[in-house]
Amino acid sequence: MIIKNIIFIKLKDLLRKILILIENLKVNLNFLFIINRKTKLAKIYYGGSIKSNIGGPAVKIKKLKKFFPEYKWNFNIVYLLSNSIYLNASTINLLKEKNVPIILNQNGVFYPEWFTGDWEKENKKMSIIYHASNYIFWQSKFSQKASEKYLGKRLGSGEILYNSVDTNTFKPSGEIYTNKFTFLITGNINKRSNYRITTIIQSLEGLIKEYKNIHLNIAGCVEDKKYFLRKIKELQLDSYITFIDEFSQKEAPLIYQRANAYITIAYNDNCPSAVIEALSSGLPVLYSNSGGIPELVNKDSGIGLQVKEDWSKTQIPNVSDIQKGMIKIMENKENMSKAARIRAIENFDIKYWIKRHEEVIDELLN
């Protein structure tokens, strides 16, 4: 099993190197063979980022391509995601030399709390595109703060633009699927992030004696799923916890609709789309009061769990605070649910997100 994992990691790394080579070669060939790129029509190249129904960056690219189709040849503007960059320094310099505007959607940076590798080296690579870009969309104020801390103060233009949601797709169902009160956790959770599940299981265990109708759905790719299944069985919580396998963006609305509230204690999350989707679906959010999430959820639509700021070590909310938060949400579900839906419609609807992209692209090209 260990050998298979090593082979998989090496193959994945090799594939990424091949993709990087292809994308950089593609940009260079563009300037060698294509001369006429003077047009006011936006012809966007996404720098090798792929679209998909699964995974944050891939879903974002899919949203963008729906409104701004990609031109892999004869493009006149480049749009990059900070967590999915395939273009190297020489290619970035070539784009600057040819006066091709670059927009960067800046998510997170590397630091010891979450990244076990050479975070300084990774930030150095990221800083090249960060400072070379003509315009930056920071996904939250926290994202901007972290970028300035680890990538340096930026002199170019930019703004805070939170991730978005299609509020017509992600909406409350209006149906009651069960008489249980269901909390939902979503995400791709690796072993390093086991605390996101372990702490909630501990909290749930202490509540079920008094609140028999409580339930927890865990949806997504959980690396340590077998361990959790054993642990849940040991604690005799089988009937209180359900795992839902990795799901697509198309399947996501129903997963939210079958829950009553959303929980995330992920530490220093920049701007998780899942939180915005949960709000749009009318789910109050219980969250770690860290990173960019406090900018997304207000006091009427969720409850923040206090943790201290730390760039070196993950901070986890107290179990007692989590339990109090879960009880408060259950007791105030109706009002908080309405507030969550309003919060999403007024602040994160995709129409505004697209409008700002149109305006910035038009400004850069004209």
Compute the distance between CA of residue 134 and CA of residue 130 in angstroms, rounded to an integer.
9
* Residue-level pLDDT at 32: 72
Which pLDDT band, with edges at 50, 70 and 90, does 56 fall under? low
* Residue-level pLDDT at 27: 84
Lowest mean pLDDT among 42-56, 86-100, 160-174, 181-195: 42-56
Compute the distance between CA of residue 16 and CA of residue 60 in angstroms, rounded to an integer.
19
Tokens coding 13: 């790394």
- The closest alpha carbon to 49, from 96, 103, 4, 119, belongs to 103
Return phi, psi of residue 124, to 5°: -65, -40
Residue 251's SS3 state is coil
Residue 37, pLDDT > 80, answer no
Which pLDDT band, with edges at 50, 70 and 90, does 8 fall under? low
Return phi, psi of residue 244, to 5°: -120, 125
Output b/e per residue, 201-225; b: 16+ Cβ within 10 A: bebbbebbeebeebbbbbbbebebe
Residue 82, pLDDT > 70, answer yes
- Segment 211-253, tens digit of pLDDT: 999 999 999 999 999 999 999 999 999 999 999 998 988 999 9
* Residue labelled with tokens 């994308």: 23
Amino acid identity of residue 32, one-letter, is: L
Q: Which domains does the chain have, with CATH numbers?
A: 38-164+350-365 (3.40.50), 181-347 (3.40.50.2000)
Strand (E) or helix (H) holding 92: helix 89-97
Compute the distance between CA of residue 9 and CA of residue 7 in angstroms, rounded to an integer.
6
Average pLDDT, the chain: 92
- Segment 267-303, tens digit of pLDDT: 999 999 999 999 999 999 999 999 999 999 999 999 9
On whether the CB atoms of residues 140 and 160 are closer than 8 A, the answer is yes
User: Distances in Å between the alpha carbon of 64 and those of 47, 56, 288, 347?
Assistant: 13, 13, 29, 18
DSSP letter at 306 equals: P
* Residue-level pLDDT at 274: 97
* Residue-level pLDDT at 170: 98
Sheet holding 157-160, edge to edge: 44-45, 77-81, 102-106, 135-138, 157-160
- The closest alpha carbon to 333, from 344, 321, 325, belongs to 325
* Residue-level pLDDT at 26: 82
* Residue-level pLDDT at 345: 98
pLDDT average, residue stretch 17-21 = 82
Greater confidence (36 vs 259) lies with 259
Compute the distance between CA of residue 90 and CA of residue 74 in angstroms, rounded to an integer.
19
On whether the CB atoms of residues 82 and 56 are closer than 8 A, the answer is no
Torsion of CA 273, 275, 278, 280, to 10 degrees: -70
Residue 363, pLDDT > 60, answer yes
Residue 50, pLDDT > 90, answer no
Which pLDDT band, with edges at 50, 70 and 90, does 38 fall under? low
Residue 42, pLDDT > 80, answer yes
Greater confidence (108 vs 11) lies with 108
Strand (E) or helix (H) holding 214: strand 214-219
* Residue-level pLDDT at 177: 61
